[in-house]
Amino acid sequence: MSADCETGRPKRVLVVGAGAAGMACADTLAQHPDRFHVSVVEAQSHCGGQMFSIPIDQKEYGARWLNQGVQGGSHIYHHTFYVFKNVDLQVSFGKGNTFWTNVYPTQLVARHSKDIKRFSWAIKVMRWFELIFAMIPIKVSLKMFFFSDDLALFLGTGNATPNLPTVMMERLYTSPTYGMWYPIDRKMLTSNLPPMVVFPEATAVYSDWKESLEKRGVSIRLDTQVKQVLARSQQDGVRVSIIRKLKSNVSSLPSADASDPEQKVKQSENDAIEEELLEETYDGIVFCVLADTAKQILGKEARWIEKKVLGSTIWSDDVTVTHNDLDYMERWYELQYNDHVAVSDLSGRDESGRVEKAKKLFQPMYLIKQTPADARKLEMSFDCSAFQYQLPKDVPLEKHVFQTIFLNKKHVDTWSKNEIRPEKIIAENWWHQLCHSYTHYLFVVPFLFCLNRVRSHRYHTRFAGSWTLVNAHEVAVISGIAAAYSLGADYPKELKEDRFARLCFRLYLLLVHWRWFEP
């Protein structure tokens, strides 16, 4: 879709959502003001979606802001448009005799040395038969190779980990480009410190991006949401009803419990909001929102395939508690080097050098805990003072800022959230997150081309967002660019010279849009 051939006017495109996907889509379309007139609507009062910053006490913590949601990512995020700081990721999993880290070997690693050696062989087999293991969940593949259930300790990144496709685990160890734990260590499984990109102040970045787009002619309306798609036709385009908030007492950033349904009811009672209902018509619409939100907006206008694909996504409601309760963290996590669990010899390999180095350098950023009520359920935490670059690194642990993530409200009975002292809590934020089940890669991803390609000229609709593949900021950005490209925009010139970026974009475009990229 490009400029209207009959009238010569730019095509009017509505982008729903001002997160990473929506902003990237609008940015790419805005390169061609002669082809597109772009409008972006965002239900929240800020751009950035689930990537934003909250204010914190600079006198108390040494910085005036803290990033929520998206913390950072891999150094291979070539499509993410910013210059970030780099850190080496240190992981702390469990506590005491179940403690494992990628920094130095522990008793847990020594106990499972035979399993670890076999696992390195199994990974090779999974690599040989990758297409088959792409359809098999991790929990099944581990049983196929007769591994101990405890091996999940090394793999846990969330409660949905057992349901992930095995190929995602395999790639972590075999891919030299995006494999976080490449190359695999036959003695310790994982012993490298992967470089990670730390994001700058999220709210400031997206505010600047918004200002830049508006200067280039993009209309961005916050506190505005698409209520319903009223009609879609090849001749008349897309007609939508839009609700615009005229007055609101809601904070410009998500408040505590902002996504909790009970909190939303309280907010609706306390906030005086005047709304304006509008009807608008566009030549095309790009949904850069969550799949279930897109399905709800489409309503009766949704095709059967849209209902089926969008409805097959699985979601969970998680909560992030930002706090500085050191007692809670030390009760459940290993925050400092522990000589009692360290081992200097690992199956005949001298590890004394790594142990000595760990005594000075061990400062984990990413921490994982098995819940006592159900060892198959996990809780995750970040030591933000060790991870986010704006926070001082030479302060005692008592001054550190932590974020603890309690996963899936359906399992609230396994949470230890109430153990965090209320006076130590800085903020609470709820998230509606995609569950990376193997079913997502069987019933959603393979059929997205039906939404973005098949008969798209008639329905004038595209879908973008990290949920279209894997929940990562880079995927969201790529998806937004891909949606714009499918509408007739050019791939950004700055990325055409980047061979790896072109490869990632070509693969995504082929998988999700069934289009061939021609740079």
Residues 133-138, mean pLDDT to the nearest whole number: 86
Confidence of residue 265 (pLDDT cuts 50, 70, 90): very low
Q: 58 — phi, psi (to 5°)?
A: -65, -35
Q: Residue 80 contacts by C-beta under 8 Å, 6 or more apart in sequence? A: 73, 197, 473, 474, 477
Residues 482-486, mean pLDDT to the nearest whole number: 96
Give yes or no for a contact between 482 and 490, defined as CB atoms under 8 angstroms apart: no
Q: Residue 6 contacts by C-beta under 8 Å, 6 or more apart in sequence? A: none
Determine which of 21-30, 40-49, 69-78, 112-121 has the lowest per-residue pLDDT on average: 69-78
Q: Residue 325 contacts by C-beta under 8 Å, 6 or more apart in sequence? A: 402, 420, 421, 424, 425
Cα–Cα distance list, 437 to 46, 229, 294, 315, 444 (Å): 30, 29, 20, 10, 10
Q: Residue 417 contacts by C-beta under 8 Å, 6 or more apart in sequence? A: 319, 321, 404, 406
Q: Residue 457 contacts by C-beta under 8 Å, 6 or more apart in sequence? A: 1, 234
Instruction: Look at residue 498 and tell me whether its pLDDT is greater than 50.
Output: yes
Could you give the CA distance from residue 206 to residue 476 in angstroms, rounded to a whole number?
14
Instruction: Look at residue 153 and tell me whether its pLDDT is greater than 50.
Output: no
CA neighbor of 33 nearest in space, from 237, 282, 217: 217
Confidence of residue 84 (pLDDT cuts 50, 70, 90): very low
With H, G, I as helix, E, B as strand and everything else as coil, classify residue 412.
Answer: helix
Check residue 83 and give its pLDDT.
Answer: 34
Cα–Cα distance list, 215 to 27, 208, 252, 348, 374 (Å): 11, 11, 22, 64, 53
pLDDT tens sequence across 175-208? 876 667 788 888 887 887 777 777 889 999 899 9
Reading the block at residue 301, the tokens are: 């206008």
Cα–Cα distance list, 516 to 474, 477, 495 (Å): 20, 18, 17
Q: 499 — phi, psi (to 5°)?
A: -60, -45
pLDDT tens sequence across 347-360? 889 999 999 999 99
Single-letter code of the amino acid located at 212: S
Instruction: Look at residue 324 and tell me whether its pLDDT is greater than 60.
Output: yes
Could you give the CA distance from residue 318 to residue 118 in angstroms, rounded to a whole number?
35
Determine which of 73-87, 255-269, 492-506 has the lowest per-residue pLDDT on average: 255-269
Could you give the CA distance from residue 401 to residue 496 in angstroms, rounded to a whole number?
40
Looking at every residue in the chain, the average pLDDT score rounds to 87
Residue in the block written with tokens 């050098």: 353
Residues 384-394, mean pLDDT to the nearest whole number: 91
With H, G, I as helix, E, B as strand and everything else as coil, classify residue 432.
Answer: strand
**Higher-confidence position of 151 and 490:** 490
Confidence of residue 247 (pLDDT cuts 50, 70, 90): low
The pTM of this model reads: 0.86
pLDDT tens sequence across 391-444? 998 899 999 999 999 999 999 999 999 999 999 999 999 999 999 888 999 999
Instruction: Look at residue 322 and tell me whether its pLDDT is greater than 90.
Output: yes
Confidence of residue 159 (pLDDT cuts 50, 70, 90): low
Could you give the CA distance from residue 398 to residue 357 in angstroms, rounded to a whole number?
24
Instruction: Look at residue 221 and tell me whether its pLDDT is greater than 80.
Output: yes
Determine which of 207-216, 478-487, 498-507 has the lowest per-residue pLDDT on average: 498-507
Single-letter code of the amino acid located at 17: G
In 73-129, which residue ranges form alpha helices assigned H by DSSP? 107-111, 113-128
Could you give the CA distance from residue 162 to residue 374 in angstroms, rounded to a whole number?
14
Let me know how long the chain is: 519
For 156-205, give the secondary structure using H, E and C. Answer: CCCCCHHHCEHHHHHHHHHCCCCCCCCCCECCCECCCCCEEEECCCHHHH
Confidence of residue 482 (pLDDT cuts 50, 70, 90): very high
Check residue 479 and give its pLDDT.
Answer: 96
Give yes or no for a contact between 278 and 242, defined as CB atoms under 8 angstroms apart: yes
Could you give the CA distance from residue 440 to residue 165 in angstroms, rounded to a whole number?
9
* Percent of the chain with pLDDT strictly greater than 90: 58
* Percent of the chain with pLDDT strictly greater than 70: 87
Check residue 87 and give its pLDDT.
Answer: 59
Instruction: Look at residue 266 and tell me whether its pLDDT is greater than 70.
Output: no
Residues 289-317, mean pLDDT to the nearest whole number: 96
Check residue 95 and give its pLDDT.
Answer: 87
Could you give the CA distance from residue 14 to residue 16 in angstroms, rounded to a whole number?
6
